[in-house]
Each structure stands twice: as C-alpha cells, then as structure tokens.
Amino acid sequence: MADAPVRVLAIHAHPDDVEFQCAGTLALLGRAGCHLTIATMAPGDCGSVEHDAETIADIRRAEARAAADLLGAEYHCLEFRDLSLFSDDASRRRVVEFLRRTRPDLILTAPPADYLADHEATHLLVRDSCFIAPIPNYATKQWEPAPALERIPLLYLVDPLEGKDREGNPVPPDFLVDVTEVFDLKRRMLECHASQRNWLLRQHGIDEYLVSQEHWSRHRGAEIGVPYAEGFRLYKGHPYPQGNRLLELVGQDGRGGTR
C-alpha cells in the first residue's frame, strides 16, 4: 500500500502573502506529490480604497482561490478580519480546529517579527496551535469538532517583508529553496490578485507588485547563486519536530544544490 501524501499547509494573514513569500516552494512540494492547502486568516477586507469591506473581501477570496487553483491546492479563509487578529483564547481555538480539520504534516507560516501586526499575530496563533492541536482534552467548542492531531506538525517560517524585522534589522534564513524552475507559476499566482495594485500604490507606494516580488526572489536567489529563491527558518522550539523534511521533499540542500 502506497504511503499517504505529505499534507502541506501554507497559512498567512491575507490573500497574496503566500504568493509573495512561498508560492514557489509550494509548487515544488506539489510536484513532489504533496497535498497542498493555502489558508488566509482574514479575507483582505481592509485592502481597498475603492470598495467597501464585504465587496473587497469577496473579490479577494475569489482571487486567492484562483491562485490556489493554479497549484491544484485547496483554499480556505478562517474569516478573521484585517487588523483584528489577536492571540487570544477564542482565536486560538478557531485555529486549532482548522489544523485538526486540515491535518497538516508540514506548515509554512508567518515569521514572529514583521512589518504588520496581523502577520505577527498569525505567527503566534499558528505556532501555539501546532503545539495544542494534538492535545485531546483541549476542546475547540466547535460543532462536531475534529479529532486531535497525532503529532505536532513541522513548522517553517517564511521571510518577513524584505527580510527585515520591524526595526529594519535583517532576518537571515536558515536555508533557501531554489524556485527558478517554477518562478513563472509563482508570478502567475500573484497576478491573480489584481485588486491589490491600486491598494499597494496608495498605501505602500508600490506601483508594480510583480516587480517587487521578482526583486526579492532575485535577492534571495543571489545568496545561493541561482536566479530565484525563497527563504525559510525551521521553528526550533521544544518540543516541535526537527529535521529538514521540506528540503528532502524538494530534493535540495538549501544552498543551491541538490540532495
């Protein structure tokens, strides 16, 4: 009997965060036979100067689903709201229930220090929910709750924006994944998020977010001598699992070579 595919979850705060930071690696994991799920904590309901919150949320969910479809991935939104993400009891129970329902073996999520509070809250909620999800006596208070996980998933942290913390200090990755061969797919996934061009121009002064995506992917790629790469850190807290299963799955050594 064949082994079940490795279940990979990429969960970040908003639609397009995954596309910027780890979509190339997800594409490689998909090619390796992994089951892929993309999730956002919120639907991007504050990400517009043209539409009201519910209208832009509908638009952005559809954009996120279209991007996930390019990978053959599932897409879910946990239906928090932009700028209202906090690491509290009710939120943690919601994330734990989601992990129990999707049952990931390996998770890619936000870093602990980033430019936006929603990103940092996502990190805290996902990190702690990984620890809690295997505890049977932790009730999520959901209708027909899913059973506890068998074990803590492997937890990887994506780059913060531009590889810097809130004070502008560099956050070096533990390893880099060469995504050159799937960069066109990564770009096409970000192109699905067309609603964000005007928003980023107004809020961040970025006129072309595809250029921004390419610039950072090239920056990380140059560190290991390849055209495009994505950076990650393995969460090393006790008793989270260790060992670089991600690199094993994509067949790379994290330094630009194969394994």
pLDDT (tens digit, 0 to 9) for every residue of the chain, 259 residues total? 568 999 999 999 999 999 999 999 999 999 999 999 999 999 999 988 889 999 999 999 999 999 999 999 999 999 999 999 999 999 999 999 999 999 999 999 999 999 999 999 999 999 999 999 999 999 998 889 999 999 999 999 999 999 999 999 999 999 999 999 999 999 999 989 988 877 776 777 665 778 889 999 999 999 999 999 999 999 999 999 998 999 999 999 999 999 8
Q: Are 248 and 174 in contact (CB under 8 A)?
A: no
Look at residues 58, 57, 59, 75 and name the one whose alpha carbon lies nearest to residue 19.
75
pTM across the whole model: 0.96
Which domains does the chain possess?
A: 7-250 (3.40.50.10320)
The answer for residues whose C-beta is within 8 angstroms of residue 181's C-beta and 6 or more apart is none
CA–CA dist 216, 21 (Å, integer): 9
